[in-house]
Structure 1
Amino acid sequence: MVAMDSINAVRLLEDCEKGLQRLVSTAASEGDYGAVIKLTSWARVLGGLVEDAKAELAPAKQIPGGSQASPQRTITGRTGSDSLPSKGSQKARLAGRYPKFFRTSGELMKIGWSKRERAEYHHKAPHSVLMQLVSKLTVVGSGGTIFTADDVFPLGADEGSPVPNYQSYLCLAWLRHEGLVQAHGRQGYSVVNGESLNAAATTHWNELSPYAG
């Protein structure tokens, strides 16, 4: 049921993105270039959310025995026509460099790669949102309990000040990137060590490279 809700949520995001794209076309035809710039930036944010959500929903590949399969790499000599990398391999290597995370003015920044636009996109979330998520995860993920995004988001809803979900997902992606939260395909997530999550998140944050942009 949770997986179906998540799939429906992705479809809604895609519909919103398409709606914004139509508005961009309308604004461009009317010469309202200020609106074009604003609507395009919103569409990019939604596009990044769609790609992130689809990646979250993708089931982990399994090998016999239930462990996750590790990507295999074959090294061969280059001769003749394979002396230069193909465009496909160049794109794969480029996309493989992402996501990147930085600190900037008290915010967590994620730099992702949009396959659709073949360009970088930037998302930011305040450090306070990150620590709010950490506090929530120490509760819902206590004892190694597997939880879903629906168990956690939207942050701040109980206080009447819900945090935008894209900021919450950005922080969750960083915690996964740092190995503090583990993904279990469509089942959800678990905290690697709930008792020390707060201290670990603070340590990793302090070690995060500042954005030099």
Structure 2
Amino acid sequence: MSAPLPIPFPARSLIVSCQAGNESPLHGPDTMARMARSVAAAGAAGIRANGPADVAAIRAAVTLPIIGIHKLGDPDGVFITPTAAAAAEVIAAGADVVAIDGTRRPRPDGTTLAGQIAAIHELFGTLVMADVDDLDAGLAARAAGADIVASTLSGYTGGGPVPAGPDLALVAALVAALDCPVIAEGRFGTPELFRAALDAGAHAVVVGQSITDPGVITGNFLQAAS
């Protein structure tokens, strides 16, 4: 197992996920670039973005490091940057780190996780972040060569209801078990949970909808009144 490469995010920092699905009024590279500029001005240390068009627009708008992903295929399977070719597109668009599905599920092109990570390293020299769903997946992803491991997919791969809160226990377990930076991601929707993730040892925390989705934020307020 090689030593993890240095990552471009300072310790105890906030990374903001600037994404909007096709159904969102905010969907589109121009809006995501404006969102990235806004959170950069407020002090975010990095951006997570989906797809070559959004990554390129954000790269032109801010100097912050970008975690690029490329969602392709079936959302019930491996679809976060599922192949090295998918990674190549967001790397060419300006991503400094590429995040990939780091679970033990089979990849659509039959490649192993280690094979995908090796191809990204060899072809592009780009940092790879593995989005995992449990501790065993995190251990396997690091053994496969991932430079960063993130708790992103915890609660999303078991087929049951998604938990309301984040998986702080997984973050702490990953930090204790791994020799690479761990990033907390997935339902860290309040400042208190952000701080809790840092206190659990996360190098940085990714927050998305609770900062960048007005529809989700509005719904949270209305739910509190019911």
Band of TM-score, shorter chain: under 0.3
What TM-score do you get using the length of structure 2 for normalisation?
0.26
Higher helix share: 1
What TM-score do you get using the length of structure 1 for normalisation?
0.27
